[in-house]
Structure 1
Amino acid sequence: MINRLKALYYKYEELIAYAFWGVATTVINVAVFWLLHHFTGWNYIINATIAWILSVLFSYLTNKAFVFHSPSKSLMGDFLEMISFFSGRLATLFLEFLMLWIGITLMHQNQIVVKIVENVIVIAINYFWSKWLVFRNSENKKSAN
């Protein structure tokens, strides 16, 4: 039984790590937004933007180190990798806004349902963007010894 669980863990290790660090990223995003909301007089768009930047930076660092195991090759290589990561997240942020607008404003659907569906789509796109474009040269697989 233990060996079977270990085998399952190693088979899905990358997805488990992605989910764990994704939850941590979400907590950071919400916490930063909340702190800025309560301790500054700034507009919520500014607060959301700062929270998004910090959470995406955290996400990049944790995805690089703990999900896709992407070694640092050079400062310029890491910078380009980070730009690609942020570009993908920015693209899906705009896609998120578009899906929310279509689902809520144009189709008059339930906001929570639209947000959940949109979130699932965005998470999947972000995972594949990271796996296939950002960290494609990484040692993604560990052996199940």
Structure 2
Amino acid sequence: MDKTIKILYTKYGEAFRYLVVGGLTTLINIVIFFSLTHIAIPWFWANVVAWFLSVLFAFIANKKVVFGSTDMAPSVVFKEGMSFFALRGASLLADTAILFVGLTLMHGSPIIVKIVDQVVVIGLNYVFSKHIFS
């Protein structure tokens, strides 16, 4: 069994690590979003702050844990960071559109809308991240 686990981890380890980091990133995003909306910050601004802080966490975790990027030269980290935030900016647009439709137009349950939103965003972000660190 130990050998089977090693084979599976070798084959799917990156995806597994991405799912763990993505789950933590999603948790950070949701907790910050609902904490801010709970203190009467409008959903749009709460989402922007939650996005920024969760993307900052995701950048560090994806660089180190998921994709094993070891080059810490300032120029490399800056380039990767700019690319990461720019591509995640594209997912912020999808994020905001889903929240707008779900919360404003459909008057959906905030927690359900935010969870659906995050599932879509995780998929987009995986595709974007592969192009930065690989």
Q: Give the TM-score of the pair, scaled to structure 1.
A: 0.72
Offset of residue 34 of structure 1:
2.3
Matches within 5 A, 1:10-49: 10-38=10-38, 40-49=39-48
The RMSD of aligned alpha carbons is 2.9
Alignment deviations for residues 51-82 of structure 1 (CA, whole Å, 9 cap, x no partner): 11000110111001100011133212211211
Q: Is the CA contact (8 Å cut-off) linking 2:17 and 2:65 kept in structure 1?
A: yes
The answer as to 2:71 corresponding to 1:67 is: no
Report the CA distance shift for 1:30/1:82 in structure 2 as closer, same or farther (over 3 A). Answer: same
> What corresponds to 1:8 in structure 2?
8
Report the CA distance shift for 1:47/1:102 in structure 2 as closer, same or farther (over 3 A). Answer: closer
- Contiguous gaps of at least 5 residues in structure 1: 137-145
- Contiguous gaps of at least 5 residues in structure 2: none
Between the aligned partners of 2:36 and 2:99, the Cα distance in structure 1 is: 24
Report the CA distance shift for 1:25/1:75 in structure 2 as closer, same or farther (over 3 A). Answer: same
Matches within 5 A, 1:1-145: 1-38=1-38, 40-98=39-97, 116=116, 122-132=121-131, 134-136=132-134
Report the AA paired with residue 29 of structure 1.
N
Which structure is richer in relative contact order (CA contacts within 8 A, separation 6 or more)? 1
Aligned residue-pair number: 130
Q: Give the TM-score of the pair, scaled to structure 2.
A: 0.77
Report the CA distance shift for 1:98/1:60 in structure 2 as closer, same or farther (over 3 A). Answer: same
Between the aligned partners of 2:94 and 2:35, the Cα distance in structure 1 is: 26
Report the AA paired with residue 135 of structure 1.
F
Report the CA distance shift for 1:33/1:96 in structure 2 as closer, same or farther (over 3 A). Answer: closer
Structure (1/2) with the larger helix percentage: 2
Alignment deviations for residues 79-123 of structure 1 (CA, whole Å, 9 cap, x no partner): 1211101111111222344567789x9xx9x9969x74x755543
Structure number, greater radius of gyration = 1
